[in-house]
Amino acid sequence: MSNNIQDKVVVITGASSGMGESAARHLASLGAKVAMGARRTERLDALVYEITAAGGEAIAVATDVTKPDDVKRLVDMAVEAYGRIDVIINNAGIMPLSPIESLKIDEWDRMIDVNIRGVLHGIAAALPHMKAQKSGQIITTSSVAGHVIFPASAVYSGTKFAVRAISEGLRQEVKPYNIRTTILSPGAVKTELLEHISDEEVKAANSDYVGQVGIPADSFARIAAFAISQPEDVDINEVIFRPTAQQ
């Protein structure tokens, strides 16, 4: 019986580490053809090598999701190589947490650019192909922080609330094209996400917490596979998951 993942063409942004990397590896092992984007191409190249050496199919290209042309190139490369695009996982994100009163305006802007504009650029790149195919699935990585606000998360949470709104609005609009929309909202997952927090106090508190309760990135990979594997008339609109030990 088909797993409804075999031979699907899956584009993943933020595939050079953490949950995107894990999703690429897992989906490729289930037979997907993965097209990966991120800025650190040496990491992507190593993953392409690993996946293809294991008998899977993968390609990658340098992608900065803040640049619409980069994301379009990634999606177009997938369509050119594999003939279609079945899924895009708009996963790239950053989380430089800080209290608003610290006025780290550059970090706010970067979060908005990567976490919101990056998702929109993925939608813009994939939608024309999916409309023409009359099928597709647009997956957006939000967060538990897209549901609740925790200390120093106001702007990050704002970006993750925003992409949930965008995904839900998209869901309502794309019915005529048979396109599924899925929000994945993880809790604390052990990845490189905390490394870019410039506020040392906030970084230490979050590192302690994620170190204690965080779950591995393959949790995300399995849930992404679950959402993709459903029959085409079943649309998993959102999955919230978190460590059992998380508040």
Applying CB under 6 A, the residues found at the interface with ligand NDP are 13-20, 38-40, 63-66, 91-95, 114, 141, 143, 186, 188-189, 191-193
49 annotated active-site: no
The smaller minimum CB distance to ligand NDP, of residues 5 and 44, is found at: 44
Catalytic residue among 49, 82, 156, 209: 156
Neighbours of 243 (CB within 10 A): 18
The smaller minimum CB distance to ligand NDP, of residues 17 and 182, is found at: 17
The smaller minimum CB distance to ligand NDP, of residues 137 and 140, is found at: 140
**Sign of the alpha-carbon dihedral angle for 65, 68, 70, 75:** positive
Which helix (DSSP H) or strand (DSSP E) does residue 99 occupy? Answer: none
CB of 191 to ligand NDP, least distance (A): 3
Please provide the DSSP assignment of 170-199 as one string: HHHH-GGGTEEEEEEEE-SB-SSGGGG---
Residues 233, 20: Cα–Cα separation, whole Å: 25
Geometric angle at alpha carbon 38, from 84 and 196, rounded to 5°: 150
CB of 107 to ligand NDP, least distance (A): 12
**Sign of the alpha-carbon dihedral angle for 167, 171, 177, 182:** positive
The smaller minimum CB distance to ligand NDP, of residues 15 and 179, is found at: 15
CB of 9 to ligand NDP, least distance (A): 19
Q: What is the 3-state secondary structure (H, E, C) of 40-98?
A: CHHHHHHHHHHHHHCCCEEEEEECCCCCHHHHHHHHHHHHHHHCCCCEEEECCCCCCCC
Question: Cα 125 to chain center, whole Å?
Answer: 15
CB of 45 to ligand NDP, least distance (A): 12
Listed residue (114, 113, 115, 110) closest to 198, CA to CA: 110
Neighbours of 97 (CB within 10 A): 26
The smaller minimum CB distance to ligand NDP, of residues 133 and 246, is found at: 246
CB of 69 to ligand NDP, least distance (A): 13
The residues annotated with a catalytic role in the active site are 156
